[in-house]
Structure 1
Amino acid sequence: MLTIGVEQAHFHAFHGLYPEERIIGNDFIVDVYVTIPGTHHIDSIAETVNYQGLYNIVKKIMAVPQPLLEQVVYNMSDAIKNKYPEIQKSIVSLRKMNPPMGASIRNSVVSLEKNY
């Protein structure tokens, strides 16, 4: 198995349940890992998953506000699998930095792991 990933992609986005979050936004960090069969030597980008392609999918989905982070990670996972059908496993994690909870919390996190 071969794992390809994008770690700690930073975004300012407008996801959240509360109206203030849709206006002010928040900082988010995304990690994506995908696994493909690694049974032979890879000689071409066409034989693997392009991490620039992963980032572009994440960037596009982060630009569309959603009330729940769970929706965001499911959308990312589905879009990645659609673009790269050879993927056998994906892990998508989304961290909301300093969530508005009235407490000192570094981040909240939602992570989705799928086996195909």
Structure 2
Amino acid sequence: MINIALQGADFFAYHGFYPEEQKIGCRFLVDIAVGFEPVTDLKDGLHNTVDYEKVYTIACEEMKIPSKLIETVGQAITNRIQNKYPFVKTIQVTIKKLNPPLTGRVAQSSVTINYPPTT
């Protein structure tokens, strides 16, 4: 199994349940890990592997779409990776919302989406 990962992809986005969050926006960090078995020998080319530049582009595009729940964004990223690379075996997407608007100081809140789902 080969694993590729993006860690700490930094985005400013407008996700949040409350209208103020969708107006003000905040910073998010996204971690994505993808595990796969190569279909054929890699031969030092991108056509038989998961291209982390394309994975990053997927994350960028989904982070631009405001959502009430970061779970929704994480699932959308996961679904698009599955569709783009049907040979993947595992995907883990973690989205961290920095300084969430709570009554006390909290560094981050986060959600993790796993494919296949863990039980």
**With structure 2 as the length reference, what TM-score do the two structures score?**
0.93
Q: Aligned letter for 1:108?
A: S
**1:85/1:38 Cα in 2 relative to 1: closer, same or farther (>3 Å)?**
closer
Task: Give the whole-Å Cα distance in 2 for the aligned partners of 1:49 and 1:80.
Answer: 9
The RMSD of aligned alpha carbons is 1.5
Structure 2 residue matching 1:90: 3-state secondary structure: strand
Residues 41-71 of structure 1, C-alpha deviations (whole Å, 9 max, x = no match)? 5221101000000000000000000001110
Residue in 1 aligned with 2:11?
11
**Match status 1:81 vs 2:76:** no
Percent identity between the two aligned chains: 34
The number of residue pairs the alignment matches comes to: 116
| Equivalent residue runs for 1:25-36 within 5 Å | 25-36=25-36
The unaligned stretches of length 5 or more in structure 1 are none
| Equivalent residue runs for 1:52-67 within 5 Å | 52-67=53-68
Q: Aligned letter for 2:53?
A: Q
The unaligned stretches of length 5 or more in structure 2 are none
State the 4+ residue runs in structure 1 displaced beyond 6 angstroms: none
**With structure 1 as the length reference, what TM-score do the two structures score?**
0.95
Task: Give the whole-Å Cα distance in 2 for the aligned partners of 1:66 and 1:39.
Answer: 35
Task: Give the whole-Å Cα distance in 2 for the aligned partners of 1:42 and 1:30.
Answer: 27
Q: Aligned letter for 1:86?
A: F
